[in-house]
Amino acid sequence: MGYDLVVRDAVLPDGQRADIAVDDGDVAAIDADADADTELDADGGLVAAGFLDCHVHLDKAYIASDLPVNETGTLAEAIANIHDRKREYTVADVRERAERAIAAHVRNGCTRLRTHVDVDTIGDLTPLRGVLAARENWADVVDVQIVAFPQEGIRRDPGTADLLADAMAAGADVVGGMPDNERTDADTRAHIDTILDLAAEFDAPVDAHVDETDDPSARSLEYLAAETLDRGFEDVTAGHTCALAAYDDPHAARVVDLAAEAGLKFVTNPTTNLLLQGRHDGHPKRRGLTRVDDLRDAGLTVAAGQDCIRDGFYPYGRASMQETAFLTAHAAHFQTRAERRAVWRMITDAAADVMGLDYGLSAGLPATLNVFPPTVDSPTAALREGRAPRYVLHEGEVVAETEVRSEIVA
């Protein structure tokens, strides 16, 4: 039988060596002995289902050089510094930077993204329109989910609730939130009530920034979990949840149990939070990540996202999910074989779960694959070396290719 494409001599993540046949955009067969119009030689390199970035900010990407220096290094100053730049946004400006970030993701083997896009009275819907335009321009290469994100708060930024509804009607896919950026606990709860009401109205998932703070008194996560249970929501994601790491162990255990009962999903963002959180601690300093181990032990989905790319929060960022996983492994003490498999899942299977996507490398699923150089023959080797894939496939089409040079390996 002839196929559209066959990847020859692939090493799968489980170590199996096989050929992978692709037809009509999907994986047709594994270990197939067949002809194809196009053949790619993996030459013994790892071939795995592509990476996903389930938490990124495309609208803010690459604005770092336009901003004042964040003298305190805090989240609050980063938000304030962005205000003036956001007022200057144009649709074309946002689209160009978002497309630049999308292209960087693709080169690094990631063609499925969930981006949080600011919706507020400062930028109005300009950031959304710019990212919508970028998504349309790249629709043949990437799948992009858009989260309508009220970073400036809802109660403290009157008019934002209406803008969020406008954003969902205009093409956003997910309702976002940032309840900790309100003035009082009552306003924080009202923020959560508003986004859940909106999600019910539009029959949409929820993906909120929750308690991105070192403050052990922050309680957004607890309320979000309780309301998720009471309202019967089934697709709610909590990003960051840094305060969970600041709780004392007994209270943290109660909140984790509540989150497990509610079936919340979690995304940790190690690059940004390692930099921003714990900055003003004495020694020992906190690492800033949520309780990745406790959440995983409770059976909860925990993924990892790039978060920021050269913006007011994070001056680095290479749109690399391998780098994101690499840093997660260090910050969360992932070292054993099982832990290395777990951190790989945080940028693959777990991220797909957050995004609600069918995912994997098996017949019938989309042929969205990364073909790594021969020196990369396992997921651990991929994280260790940080090499870009030799070929990036999205739904059966080669969308990026990296030249492989001969090299001496010690």
Residues with catalytic roles: 212
110, β-bridge pairs: 51
- Which has the closest alpha carbon to 50: 365, 331, 300? 365
Selection from 354, 302, 298, 355 nearest residue 332 by Cα: 302
What length is written for the chain?
Answer: 410
Residue 247, amino acid? Y
Cα separation, 55 vs 4, in Å, equals 33
What's phi and psi for 245, nearest 5 deg? -75, -15
In the chain, the largest separation of any two C-alpha atoms, in whole Å, equals 66
For residue 302, give the nearest of 395, 237, 226, 232 by alpha carbon.
Answer: 237
SS3 at position 51 = strand
Is residue 349 helix, strand or coil? helix
Q: How far apart are CA 77 and CA 69, in angstroms?
A: 9
Cβ-contact 83, 122 below 8 angstroms: yes
Rounded to whole angstroms, how far apart are CA atoms 60 and 309? 8
For residue 301, give every residue at least 6 positions away whose Cβ sits within 8 Å of its Cβ, in sequence order, or none.
265, 266, 350, 353, 354
Neighbours of 15 (CB within 10 A): 9
The 3 state secondary structure assigned to 354-381 is: HHCCCCCCCCCCECCEEECCCCCCCHHH
Whether 157 and 188 have beta carbons less than 8 Å apart is answered as no
Looking at residue 387, the DSSP 8-state letter turns out to be P
Tokens representing 100 are 């630049």
- 164 vs 149: CA distance, rounded Å: 8
Nearest to 49 by CA among 23, 19, 27, 18: 27
Query: How many of the other CB atoms lie within 10 Å of CB of 137?
Result: 14
